[in-house]
Amino acid sequence: MLEAIRTAAQTWIAKVILVLISIPFALWGVESYIRTSPGTNTIATAGGDKISSQEFDNAMKAQLDQLRQRFGGQVDVSVMDNPEMRKGVLDQLIDQRVLDKTTRSGMMAVGDARLRDLIIANTNFQDNGQFSPALYERLLKAQGYTAASFEAAIRQDTQRQQFLDSLTNTAIIAKSSVNSYIQANEQSREVAVVFVSPATFLSKVNVTPEQAQAFYEKNQAEFTTPEQVRAEYIELSIDALAPAITVSPDEVKTFYEANKTRYVTKEERKASHILISVAKDAKDADKKAAEAKANQLFAQLQKNPKDFADLAKKNSQDPGSAANGGDLGFFGRGMMVPPFDKAAFEGKKDELIGPVQTDFGYHIIRVTDIKPEKGKSLADATPEIEGELKKQKASRKFAELAEKFSNAAFEQSSSLKAAAEVTGLPIKQSSFFAKGQAFQPPFNNAKLSTALFSDEVLKNKRNTEAIEIGASTLVVARVLEAKPAVLKPLAELQAGLIQRLAREEAVKLAKQDGEATLAALKAGKEETTFPALVAISKAKPAGLTPGVVEAAMRANTKSLPAYVGYAEPNGTYTVIKVAKVVDAVAPDDAKLSTTRQRLQQTLGQKELVSVIAQLRSDVGVSISPGATDKKADK
């Protein structure tokens, strides 16, 4: 059991699959998957559901955006050409389709009340800790969603998550296994160590110049300074074009008026109500009884307004607000049914209103707070709007120039002058750098760096093609100057090589000596003097390296003292004596419970891999040949 837990926790595929197919409830987590273009070719199917090439491209772009956000924008776009990365993204889409078919046919439905609670609880839509319908509407609109499309996506994602949780949180683990796991992690051992250092054997090693020369000749690539180039280049991007773009005051004003909801928050009201419900098609007698009840409560509140919350809890028939004293939170105009909306926005703060009749019955309303319309004036919003309009214009200009830029670089491939004239951008220069060297942008892009060292560019002195190094960013470059690869002379390296080879031989001798000592100790034929014992555990290593601690904790302690050895990466060989095992303190119920939950999730992740594979088999998955191949650049 413990080995299964350990393996599951360390298996990268389990973690990767969870990341790929689990979409948490977040504001923008589903955008790339619900906005796809029709009419594109199908590259895969899952149970009859088609996945188009356009959907795959969108998912690839979304993945790249996530990587940029995670690593601060410093991401080489060529990483998306990696076959494993592309296959992983397609597998993600397929697994989502498979999960969707499973959750639709199972018991994972998400009801309206649950959906409402999820949205209200989302802090992205809250203002001062309260759900804001106006903010909700504004954020969805800014991202191109309707309420219906966003809520459908959230419902779907929550169904997926519920299914995943049902797997990852239900693994059965015996109490004895939990106890064993805790003991293995918290047990301590009293140990003593002897270090066998390579330095002890250096005096016994003699490396000749002939040996150094033989090593040098066999490993010349290691001692060769790689080929280097110095380049000139033009970078065409939205950011590069934006500073030269002009925006008029009239354009700013027009944009402000057309997008006023982005800069001005409309009035919102907070209200409480008491609902005496009656169906719209109820009998007249039932309607009169409901109205009479509402009038009676209204009269009571006129005498004692402070009793509103108490009366709401006892009498309101709105299950969503009664327990909160009738509190509905803040809402904007148009969020409530028309009669209620009109009354609430015409009333004054703390005024009793009603009874107001709607299709739900009779409402007694009290407006408890008002947030007036507020926001940025045109003057305050102008710098932000200018920046956005410049980017919009620069984006359009980029689209217009991209092909011209590429053609100019290709048609006049012996110079960057034509490409510079087409774009109006400066020609920049780099310092010398080697192929594969971690260099400054834009030459940290593998595709651009490789192109510069190609025969076509380096030997034939041509421009590179226009290479995409980021979102809406193209670079054309050419080599200004090149330095050939140079093998460093043996005379320059000989002394260092002799030291290096001597050190390597000393490491071998140290290991041989340490292993011989260890074998003698195990056979009871060696009297090694160990220093004083120290208590160690995984959490408290007492200054020992992780490798030594791990070796000591894994030692078989059926017979004590026990002896184990460990070869450090620095060449030191450590002989370890384990003299005593100190069991961990028996865990209390709370610790057992917490540990069991953690282990359940770990084993559940392992089970998830198997379940997804089985579900794929059950629904049937088909992937077209070459589905994830990188398309040729046009």
Instruction: Report if residue 261 sits inside a domain.
Output: no
Q: How confident is the model at residue 104 (pLDDT cuts 50, 70, 90)?
A: low
Strands 361-371, 268-277: pairing is antiparallel
Say what the pLDDT of residue 37 is. 40
Confidence of residue 538 (pLDDT cuts 50, 70, 90): confident
Q: Domain boundary residue among 484, 504, 539?
A: 484
**Which residue matches tokens 């002379």?**
489
pLDDT of residue 349: 93
Residue 517 sits in the same domain as residue 478? no
Do 63 and 93 reside in the same domain of the chain? yes
Higher pLDDT pick, 201 / 30: 201
- Domain total of the chain: 4
Q: Percentage of the chain with pLDDT > 70?
A: 88
Q: Which residues does 608 contact at the CB level (< 8 Å), separation at least 6?
A: 14, 17, 18, 164, 167, 168
| pLDDT at residue 54, rounded to an integer | 82
Same domain, 57 and 145: yes
Within this chain, do residues 7 and 133 fall inside the same structural domain, yes or no?
yes
Residues 311-327, mean pLDDT to the nearest whole number? 89
Are 63 and 77 in a shared domain?
yes
Strands 352-358 and 573-582: unpaired
Q: Based on the domain organization, do 402 and 466 belong to the same domain?
A: yes
Task: Read off the pTM.
Answer: 0.51
**First and final CA of the chain: distance in angstroms?**
54
Residues 304, 432 within the same domain: no
Residues 564 and 605 in one domain: no
Contact of 476 with 419, CB cutoff 8 Å:
yes
Picking from 468, 484, 500, the residue at the C-terminal end of a domain is 484
Q: How many residues does the chain have?
A: 634
Q: Which of 39, 38, 99, 90 is nearest to 62 (CA)?
A: 90
Percentage of the chain surpassing pLDDT 90? 47
237 in the same domain as 275: no
